[in-house]
């Protein structure tokens, strides 16, 4: 009789660069994040590509025994090198479908360093939370001050009366990946334990 695979302990959606960036620490962190998700029996939900930090986090999750759900629009299958090694690779027709499925399949969201695609995903998930479309915890990894300038813009917006403090509190910002991830998963209502079979 075929065994049903165990359901993941939690599901984290990671937004990050389709490029590696030029600070090697960012790829090293993406690998640690993936390994941590895998070792804790978690599931990674991401954009489904092999390139850049996206590929690094997916490979590390898979190597550590985690589940990986990649969601990619058909038009990007070649450009972003769709990751055929994903546990589940969902090829969709539109970017909107991609974002909807990623949001549905995740318990929490974290943005690592990335470019405009990452910014867009972060801001959309943030604004959706503000509008009450979801109430899943959302985090920003400000590794090595990468997002200092973005956070300064947000504070500038608060100072100019276009945002208020309650909107800022909808996002957790942290410089260290592990405490940030643990806070978000805890806030989503899950406890994390290392899976013995991954040791």
Q: Is the separation of the CB atoms in 121 and 111 below 8 Å?
A: yes
| Positions in 131-190 near ligand AMP (CB under 6 A) | none
Is the distance from CB of 48 to CB of 83 less than 8 angstroms?
A: yes
- For ligand AMP, the closer of residues 41 and 117 by Cβ is 117
Q: Which of 41, 121, 122, 125 binds ligand AMP (CB under 6 A)?
A: 121
Binding span for ligand AMP by CB under 6 A among 16-24, 25-33, 163-171, 180-188 = 16-24
CA-based nearest residue to 115, from 192, 51, 178, 37: 51
Of residues 20, 47, 66, 174, which one binds ligand AMP by CB under 6 A? 47
- Distance from C-alpha of 38 to C-alpha of 57, rounded to nearest angstrom: 10
If the CB atoms of residues 10 and 46 are measured against ligand AMP, the closer one turns out to be 46
**Intra-chain end-to-end CA distance of the chain, in Å:** 27
Does 18 sit near ligand AMP (CB under 6 A)?
yes
118: contact with ligand AMP by CB under 6 A: yes
Q: List C-alpha distances in Å: 158 to 45, 125, 149.
A: 31, 19, 14
14 vs 171, beta carbon nearer ligand AMP: 14
Segment (H or E) for 171: none
Cα separation, 78 vs 67, whole angstroms: 23
> Is residue 41 within the footprint of ligand AMP (CB under 6 A)?
no
- Shortest CB 91 distance to ligand AMP, Å: 13
Does the footprint of ligand AMP cover residue 21 (CB under 6 A)?
no
Which DSSP helix (H) or strand (E) runs through 91? Answer: strand 88-92
Cβ at position 40, least distance to ligand AMP in Å: 24
**CA 65 – CA 58 distance, rounded (Å):** 11
Which is nearer to ligand AMP, 117 or 174 (by Cβ)? 117
Query: How far is Cα 172 from Cα 24, in angstroms, rounded to an integer?
Result: 24
Q: Of the candidates 19, 81, 134, 183, which one interacts with ligand AMP according to CB under 6 A?
A: 19
Residues interacting with ligand AMP, by CB under 6 A?
A: 17-19, 47, 49, 76, 80, 95, 99, 114-118, 120-121
């Amino acid at each position: 009789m075929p065994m049903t695979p165990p359901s993941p302990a939690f599901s984290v959606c990671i937004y990050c660069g389709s490029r590696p960036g030029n600070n090697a620490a960012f790829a090293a962190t993406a690998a640690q994040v993936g390994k941590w998700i895998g070792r804790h029996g978690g599931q990674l939900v991401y954009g489904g590509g092999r390139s850049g930090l996206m590929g690094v986090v997916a490979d590390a999750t898979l190597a550590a025994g985690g589940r990986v759900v990649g969601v990619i629009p058909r038009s990007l299958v070649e450009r972003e090198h769709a990751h055929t090694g994903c546990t589940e690779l969902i090829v969709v027709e539109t970017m909107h479908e991609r974002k909807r499925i990623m949001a549905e399949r995740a318990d929490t969201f974290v943005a690592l360093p990335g470019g405009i695609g990452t910014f867009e995903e972060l801001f959309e998930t943030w604004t959706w939370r503000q509008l009450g479309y979801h109430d899943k915890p959302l985090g920003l990894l400000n590794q090595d001050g990468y997002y200092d300038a973005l956070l300064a813009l947000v504070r500038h917006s608060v100072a100019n009366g276009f945002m208020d403090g309650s909107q800022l509190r909808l996002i957790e910002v942290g410089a260290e990946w592990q405490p940030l991830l643990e806070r978000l998963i805890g806030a989503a209502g899950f406890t994390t334990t290392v899976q013995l079979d991954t040791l």
